[in-house]
């Protein structure tokens, strides 16, 4: 049976300091902010999808009466997200991270030849930029 699921629409990461997260994802990575609610979340456009950054303390509380009925969620510890980057642009990302003194934890080629780089956001989330060939996309 074929699944009706056609992709991931949004990815969520968690950060207690949303101002630092916004400065990083907008100012360093260059993502375009969609919306923000101080102390709760900041959302960014990421290609065809959306990157959601939530304050885990705020989203672990049940919704108040009259608000949207989104279930509680959150996590502690580092999460992970991988961004699709065209091969010719990976070195630009490495340069941009270096300009902001953000360490590259790993830069390597997978057995299929695709290149990935790993680094951290201000909340400690593990971020990866990878060539689409990693998953044959």
Q: pLDDT tens-digit profile of 1-39? A: 787 778 889 999 999 999 999 999 999 999 999 999 999
Residues 49, 52, 53: CA angle, nearest 5 degrees: 150
Q: pLDDT tens-digit profile of 81-121? A: 999 999 999 999 999 999 999 999 999 999 999 999 999 99
Domains of the chain: 10-63+78-135 (3.10.180.10)
Q: pLDDT tens-digit profile of 37-86? A: 999 999 999 999 999 999 999 988 887 888 778 888 888 889 999 999 99
Residues 96, 98, 103: CA angle, nearest 5 degrees: 120
Q: Is 115:108 a contact under the CB 8 Å cutoff?
A: yes
């Amino acid at each position: 049976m074929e699944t009706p699921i056609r992709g991931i629409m949004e990815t969520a990461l968690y950060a207690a300091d949303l101002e630092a997260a916004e400065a990083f994802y907008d100012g360093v990575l260059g993502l375009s902010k969609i919306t923000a609610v101080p102390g709760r979340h900041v959302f960014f456009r990421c290609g065809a999808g959306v990157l959601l950054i939530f304050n885990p303390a705020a989203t672990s509380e049940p919704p108040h009466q009259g608000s949207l009925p989104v279930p509680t969620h959150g996590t502690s510890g580092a999460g992970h997200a991988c961004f699709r980057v065209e091969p010719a642009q990976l070195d630009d990302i490495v340069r941009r991270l270096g300009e902001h003194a953000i360490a590259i934890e790993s830069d390597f080629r997978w057995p299929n030849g695709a290149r990935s780089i790993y680094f951290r956001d201000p909340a400690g989330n593990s971020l990866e930029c990878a060539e689409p060939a990693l998953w044959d996309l």
